Structure 1
Amino acid sequence: MTENPAGVTVVGIGADGWSGLPGTATAALTAADVVFGSDRQLDLLPPEVAGERVPWPSPLLPALPGLLDAHRDRRIAVLASGDPMFHGIGATLCRLAGPVRVIPHPSSVSLAAARLGWPLADVDVLSLVTAPVEELHPLVHPGRRVLVLSRDAETPGRIAHLLTSRGYGDSTLTVLAQLGGAGETTRTGPAASLDLTGVDPLNVVAIECGRGGPARPRTPGLPDDAYDSDGQLTKREVRAVTLALLGPQPGELLWDVGAGSGSIAIEWMRTHRACRAVAVESSAERAARVAANAAALGVPKLEVVVGRAPGALAGLPAPDVVFIGGGVTRDGVVEAAWEALPAGGRLVANAVTLESEAVLAAWYAKLGGELTRVAVNRAAPVGGFTGWRAMMPVTIWSVVKP
């Protein structure tokens, strides 16, 4: 952490510039020895802000510690768009520079909600400033409202394409640009047909989701056909039971060992934006399929590791939870997973063969936990009638590390 005895003040500023700032913000900027910000933000300041103006370098984050050190004995003011603590640089500066004074401005999301008359408590908010557009997928549901912070002028078009490809082309898009500034503009129309040429890069996209295509709920147990698979897929009913035993909680990291099509890791991450996962798969072809499934289902940040456990587990970030979907009969896999878990960590393993079932029974005898067998029958045609077709039963061992 880089301390700054002279102090760092982060000032939120909108498209309305100097005229939209409160007295506390203008006083902080006027008193600063040095002001950091983007070229666009620095151009909004009047001559009475006499401190040295330092444009942000690119890339910014690696350069920040050095910039703070270089000006450590000066009064520093940092310009940030809108509310610095809402998808802004404020949190980063608090981590790097110790106690930081923050003077917020209304965020672009607050301004957009005010223009639209949308209560923010009922709206999902997503920043695509640094994230891929595929992260929008889990938020798209019939009738839902979403506000998206755009990266650039191309973001609204990417959003419209994603919605249309999902069967949500009838969703209403509203692109609000230069919010609060003299050049504020709004354009509204269906995602499938709205003209998005010449959009200002400083924009927020409001989405009112339409009727939509196939359901993609956030709860575990997506339809099997939601995945591209070569057959190595934990089936829907077993997947739902397995995820219930894994018990995802926000911020936890899952190892999905023997990921197959990636369904366990993907649905783990879909339960909450803060859930993280590493999918370990020995087949490069299947690993590529895992990554494609993750993007299509809205969790493109799933980390995919190509390799065979237990060797592939070495060097991975420590997990909170481990799922073993394949490889329990391989020497050292369960041992490595158990060793990596912290106290209170959870391990769940599935078995479909007699050999793997015997391994789980032995570990159950040694460590305890719960041993469950799940048998599923699905209705299927039998001639001109309907009968039950049994799926292979699955044995599930779940245990918490003391």
Structure 2
Amino acid sequence: MSEGPWLTIVGLGEDGPDGLPAASRAALDAAEVVIGPPRHLALLPDLVADRMTWPVPFSKGLDLLESYRGRRVVALASGDPFWFGAGRVIAERLSPQEWCAHPGVSTFALAASRMGWAIERTLCLGLHAAPLTRLRPHLAPGARLLVLLRGGEAVPELSRYLTGTGFGRTRVTVLEALGGPRERRTEAHADALTGAFGHPVCVALEITGGLGMPCVPGREDDVFESDGQISKRPVRALTLSALAPRAGERLWDIGGGSGSIAIEWLLAHPTTEAVSIEARVDRATCIVRNADALGVDRLNVVQGAAPEALEGLAPPDAVFVGGGLSRALLDDLVTRLAPGTRLVANAVTLESEALLAAWHAERGGDLMRIELAEAAPLGPRRGWRSSYPVVQYRGAL
């Protein structure tokens, strides 16, 4: 074949090739190999090209695709391949000169047109291979969501999840096989939705009832499962303020406890990353549960003690030390990490407080003492019940 892209990524709708633009039809007619899921291959007319089913798991298909390098190949994807589709993964695997793409109408565009919703005001999520708990940060009364699911069996799971989190009165519109002859629409409240549904499926949600998650750090303590080893709400809010998460940044949370600091870091922005390092197995397992429940399953939990557990981790933009504070750990961080990496550490004991005071004297930064008291019964009246003071260091390595 002549020089140029050997692979064309074609977005195919449920109406098959009839709805394709001329360039996509020409690519199919000229193809030597067409690869895609069985559902898409079944929509095609007779072609000269060999038909290959994309294998499961998806990653195996990338190796198969590359084995056809040098031939004219078309890879079929749903609608717009670069909106929660296969396009990004394929493009990352190949050089820009090897591929081109002809996107089709996205499922989100079709769903928004059926619902009459402004797509720029609607949250679009792809949960083909992600847990339903990813929805949790976005559930708030009045919100509108379009959600792609892995298949019809996920629709009842979604209804049970919404009901279990207090959003059972959410209006659910199930949109099956949009744009094709099998298109079907089903509407019900989440707590009353019944029936069987087919693939492909998109669900439109109009959120009703329940309580949305606060948008600022310092969520209530009872949001997190904990054995008591947790930074309390006001201290956590001050700690996140000191850590100052920014889009795309990575945190090391050393001595994770319940994982609340790392989780709130991740909730600050969808592009943030975090690693929670926890020595105790039971607490590390608890951190995983908390992250999953609050929709940030992207949290990387490392079970082990620092500094040994830090080996091989991608360098962070900020480090929080909430447990296991020692001079040896601080010295290791200085040696290990780039100058300017932000450091925040909280101390409760006299020994760790003295350590931070000495570190502050040597390295500069800010040192703050946090003393909190809450109103509590005192006989027939009320008085102030003080918490242990927390000394917080904020600086740079």
Q: Same fold (TM over 0.5)?
A: yes
Return the letter of the residue paired with 1:288.
T
Question: Residues of 1 paired with 2:221 and 2:48: CA distance?
Answer: 62
Map 1:20-169 onto structure 2 (within 5 A). Answer: 20-47=19-46, 49-68=47-66, 70-99=67-96, 100-169=99-168
Q: Pick from 350, 374, 381 the counterpart of residue 385 of structure 1.
A: 381
Return the letter of the residue paired with 1:225.
D
Offset at residue 63 of structure 1 (A): 4.2
Q: Pick from 264, 267, 271 the counterpart of residue 268 of structure 2.
A: 271
- Whether contact under 8 Å (1:338, 1:347) holds in the other structure is no
Aligned to 2:205: 207
- Whether contact under 8 Å (1:256, 1:279) holds in the other structure is yes
- 2:369 matched to 1:373? yes
Q: Pick from 352, 360, 363 the counterpart of residue 359 of structure 2.
A: 363
Aligned to 1:218: 215
- Whether contact under 8 Å (2:5, 2:100) holds in the other structure is no
Question: Residues of 1 paired with 2:208 and 2:353: CA distance?
Answer: 46
Question: Residues of 1 paired with 2:337 and 2:40: CA distance?
Answer: 47
Q: Secondary structure of 1:337's match?
A: helix
| Cα shift readout 1:100-140 (whole Å, capped 9, x = no counterpart) | 31111111111111110111111112211111111111111
Distance 1:105 1:234, change over 3 A: same
Offset at residue 342 of structure 1 (A): 3.1
Question: Residues of 1 paired with 2:374 and 2:235: CA distance?
Answer: 13
- Whether contact under 8 Å (2:33, 2:50) holds in the other structure is yes
Offset at residue 143 of structure 1 (A): 1.2
- Whether contact under 8 Å (2:370, 2:390) holds in the other structure is yes
Question: Residues of 1 paired with 2:114 and 2:40: CA distance?
Answer: 23
Distance 1:365 1:62, change over 3 A: farther
Map 1:230-379 onto structure 2 (within 5 A). Answer: 230-329=227-326, 331-379=327-375
Question: Residues of 1 paired with 2:328 and 2:4: CA distance?
Answer: 52
- Whether contact under 8 Å (2:153, 2:196) holds in the other structure is no
Aligned to 1:198: 196
Q: Secondary structure of 1:332's match?
A: helix
Question: Residues of 2 paired with 1:369 and 1:230: CA distance?
Answer: 32
Aligned to 1:183: 182
- Whether contact under 8 Å (2:172, 2:203) holds in the other structure is yes
Distance 1:266 1:308, change over 3 A: same
Q: Name structure 1 gaps, 5 residues minimum.
A: none
Q: Secondary structure of 1:316's match?
A: coil
Question: Residues of 2 paired with 1:367 and 1:158: CA distance?
Answer: 53
Offset at residue 164 of structure 1 (A): 0.9
Which has the higher mean CA deviation after the structures are superposed, 364-373 or 21-30?
364-373
Q: Name structure 2 gaps, 5 residues minimum.
A: none
| Cα shift readout 1:282-327 (whole Å, capped 9, x = no counterpart) | 1111112111111221112322221111112122232222111011
Return the letter of the residue paired with 1:342.
A
In the superposition, the TM-score normalised over structure 2's length comes to: 0.94
Offset at residue 186 of structure 1 (A): 0.9
Distance 1:377 1:144, change over 3 A: same
- Whether contact under 8 Å (1:6, 1:73) holds in the other structure is no
Question: Residues of 2 paired with 1:344 and 1:62: CA distance?
Answer: 41
| Cα shift readout 1:45-77 (whole Å, capped 9, x = no counterpart) | 112x32222211122214414531x22111221
Question: Residues of 1 paired with 2:61 and 2:103: CA distance?
Answer: 24
- Whether contact under 8 Å (1:65, 1:96) holds in the other structure is no
- Whether contact under 8 Å (2:252, 2:275) holds in the other structure is yes
- Whether contact under 8 Å (1:172, 1:190) holds in the other structure is yes
Size of the aligned set, in residue pairs, is 393
Distance 1:227 1:56, change over 3 A: same
| Moved segments of 4+, more than 4 Å | none
Q: Secondary structure of 2:191's match?
A: coil
Return the letter of the residue paired with 1:11.
V
- Whether contact under 8 Å (1:233, 1:263) holds in the other structure is yes
- Whether contact under 8 Å (2:156, 2:193) holds in the other structure is no
In the superposition, the TM-score normalised over structure 1's length comes to: 0.93
Distance 1:40 1:278, change over 3 A: same
Q: Secondary structure of 2:357's match?
A: helix
Question: Residues of 1 paired with 2:158 and 2:126: CA distance?
Answer: 12
Return the letter of the residue paired with 2:357.
A
Distance 1:72 1:188, change over 3 A: same
Which has the higher mean CA deviation after the structures are superposed, 263-272 or 377-386?
377-386
Offset at residue 5 of structure 1 (A): 4.7
Question: Residues of 1 paired with 2:350 and 2:178: CA distance?
Answer: 63
Q: Calculate percent identity across the aligned residue pairs.
A: 44
RMSD (CA atoms):
1.7
- 2:224 matched to 1:227? yes
- Whether contact under 8 Å (1:14, 1:81) holds in the other structure is yes
